[in-house]
Amino acid sequence: MDKERIDRIIDKHQSEASSLIQVLLEIQSENHWLPKETLERVSEKLQVPFTRIQHIASFYKAFSLVPKGRHEIHLCMGTACHVRGAPRLLDMVQDLTGIKPGETDLDMKFSLETVNCLGCCALGPVMEVNGKTHGKMLPSKTADVLKNYE
């Protein structure tokens, strides 16, 4: 991520140290992960120690310190999805992609994350791929959904 883009985001938040989380969120959303050099720039501009930035980047779930795959799978593990069979769905997705939650495969094709509630409980169990919701999922339907992504 280039310096100008980072600086633009920081300036938007009036370079206030208390906006650190908001700044990181915006970088995460534009870049999909937080590279070390980017965080160093943030630390320098906001005058916040690098250790504190690391603390925050590892404390909050929204941030990733490793690059993400081309397609992001979010599997809802909320209670409603859980009682409707989300754990079996997770097993199947893990089998099919070969990755566990928090991981990205070697081809950088899929990243898998579990989330705690997408708020579409009527459609549970829910799997979201690149923001598109796939509702009423069954382990037996998973392969058909995932094969649409290259």
Contact set with other proteins (CB under 8 A): 16-22, 24-25, 52, 55-56, 59-63, 77-80, 82-85, 87-88, 91-92, 95, 115-124, 126, 133, 135, 138-140, 143
Task: Pull the structure tokens for residue 98.
Answer: 């070969």
The DSSP code for 19 is G
Residue 30 CB, nearest approach to other proteins (Å): 13
22/31 with CB nearer other proteins: 22
Residue 40 CB, nearest approach to other proteins (Å): 18
Residue 41 CB, nearest approach to other proteins (Å): 17
Give DSSP secondary structure letters for 72-101: EEEEE--HHHHHTTHHHHHHHHHHHH---T
Cis bond leading into 125, ω under 30°? yes
CB 118 within 8 A of CB 128: yes
1/120 with CB nearer other proteins: 120
Task: Pull the structure tokens for residue 18.
Answer: 């208390």
4/47 with CB nearer other proteins: 47
Residue 45 CB, nearest approach to other proteins (Å): 14
Q: Which sign does the torsion angle of CA 25, 27, 30, 33 carry? A: negative
**Rounded distance, CA 61 to CA 16, Å?**
22
1/133 with CB nearer other proteins: 133
